[in-house]
Amino acid sequence: MSADDGAGDSPPLSIRDIALSYGDGEPVIEAERLEVPAGEITALIGPNGSGKSTLLKSMNAELTPDRGAVAFDGRDVEEFETTELARRLGLLSQEHVAPESTTVRELATHGRYPHRGFFEGMREEDYRAVDRAIERAGVEHLADRRVGDLSGGQAQLAWLAMVLAQETDALLLDEPTTFLDLHHQLRVLDAVRELNEDHGITVCVVLHDISQAARFADNLIALRDGEPYEWGPPDEVVTEDLLRDVFGVEAEVGFGPNGPRVTPRRAIDE
């Protein structure tokens, strides 16, 4: 990513005939075809255990499918050399591991490793990228704090700063708003939208709030039991049928100027 990248420059992610299982178990993901369009924001929605994180990790080659492939920029993600992929595709996962004494700035600095030679120090552009990421994630005031001392939401923002410092062409974000208060949820989504609009970054993001996902994303992919139930523009995906069949919720769906709005009524007993 560079400052003068125009919108639409980032590549798409395409999934073809994929099946993915853990160990010898049954596949937890099976999908014939899914697209995360270039330069657009796609939200993955679905109930707990429906396979959202697994699908996201397969897009980043963190998990290898038993069958099929994920293509990024027309190439199987498994074919990329690890550092090359990390320069182009960033993943904010739900599992965070870092020594407790690491500061927020040090964490963000880790995001620059894919851009530097093994023995090279930080260059001026690396420092600038770290500053930008810290600002975008809204953690300037926490930059010198130890990650181990942060609240859940503050830590979430610190990890986001690390992924943003990678300055990749595409971002995969697994529940980036979890643990965040409403103000910070909106700030994070605004920052992602700004990156998307200013640099044409392709985004795939897991969100649990369906109304928020519908407002925020250009496209939705709804997963049920590891399979796509529906995908496309929010207006087409968010329906009362989806809420009943996928989420087990009786709800009303209204359509306002900001897209579909979900009013849940009750959980349907299985």
Ligand X SMILES: Nc1ncnc2c1ncn2[C@@H]1O[C@H](COP(=O)(O)OP(=O)(O)OP(=O)(O)O)[C@@H](O)[C@H]1O
Among 10, 50, 177, 196, the residue binding ligand X under the rule CB under 6 A is 50
Based on the shown chain and the rule CB under 6 A, indicate whether residue 228 belongs to the binding site for ligand X: no
The CB-of-26 to ligand X minimum distance in angstroms stands at: 9
Alpha-carbon distance of 161 to 130, in angstroms, equals: 8
Among the listed residues 31, 11, 7, 10, the one whose alpha carbon sits nearest the alpha carbon of residue 19: 31
Q: Which is nearer to ligand X, 145 or 224 (CB)?
A: 224
Q: Which stretch binds ligand X (CB under 6 A): 2-10, 43-51, 138-146, 164-172?
A: 43-51
The CB-of-196 to ligand X minimum distance in angstroms stands at: 22
Among the listed residues 9, 53, 43, 48, the one whose alpha carbon sits nearest the alpha carbon of residue 195: 9
Alpha-carbon distance of 261 to 251, in angstroms, equals: 10
Based on the shown chain and the rule CB under 6 A, indicate whether residue 48 belongs to the binding site for ligand X: yes
Based on the shown chain and the rule CB under 6 A, indicate whether residue 52 belongs to the binding site for ligand X: yes
Among the listed residues 36, 35, 39, 42, the one whose alpha carbon sits nearest the alpha carbon of residue 214: 42
Among 27, 46, 65, 228, the residue binding ligand X under the rule CB under 6 A is 46
Q: Are 201 and 39 in contact (CB under 8 A)?
A: yes
Q: Which stretch binds ligand X (CB under 6 A): 49-57, 98-106, 196-204, 239-247?
A: 49-57
The CB-of-44 to ligand X minimum distance in angstroms stands at: 8
Where on the chain is the footprint of ligand X (CB under 6 A)?
22, 28, 46, 48-54
